Amino acid sequence: MSKIKNYIEMIVNNGNKEDMECLSDMLTEVIDILKDEHYDKYEKYKMKLYGMAYGYKFDEDMAHEIVEEMRPLGEYWDMKTTSSVKNQYGLNIDDYVFYVVMNSLANDYQNAISLDEVETYVKMAVAFIDDEDAVKNKVWKYFTTIAKRD
């Protein structure tokens, strides 16, 4: 184990509030430096920190940010629409996850499947989200680490 990692583990295990705040300040400073010098690593670490902080779940801002970056359409269905469709089909799926996946599918398949075929998109979204042999937090991992982000 590196000396730095050992120091960090000791600080965390000791739980001293002042030391934890100092550690947080140092980490923030280092990650801000990454933003300027290694943006790809900055994004990776930022997403990892976000996931750890929020339990690897999207909030409304993160969901909108992801959908806004989708090409070619961006947001085709707004949150109100996808929530209504989800409820209409009696689905027990997180609203933000459903919103992100439905819009992803619209962006990826709109040339092959008419956007009027909402039921087809719903079935595809459910299949993607409820994939039995997928890794834990599949949707989170896909949209924060696999899908291209500008």
In a 13 Å sphere around the CA of 131, the CA atoms on its Cβ side amount to 13
Query: Is the pLDDT score of 1 beyond 80?
Result: no
| pTM of the complete model beyond 0.85 | no
Query: CB of 139 within 8 A of CB of 125?
Result: no
Tell me what pLDDT residue 150 has.
55
Q: Which helix (H) or strand (E) holds 30?
A: helix 17-37
pLDDT band at 53 (very low <50, low <70, confident <90, very high): very high
Q: Using one digit for the tens of pLDDT, what is the confidence trace for 85-141?
A: 999 999 999 999 999 999 999 999 999 999 999 999 999 999 999 999 999 999 999
Q: Where are the domains of the chain?
A: 58-146
Query: CB of 75 within 8 A of CB of 67?
Result: yes
Q: Which residues are CB-neighbours of 37 under 8 A, at least 6 positions away? A: none
Amino acid making up residue 135:
V
Query: CB of 120 within 8 A of CB of 113?
Result: yes
Six token digits for residue 51: 């996931």
Query: Is the pLDDT score of 11 beyond 60?
Result: yes
Identify whether 72 is preceded by a cis peptide bond (ω within 30 of 0). yes
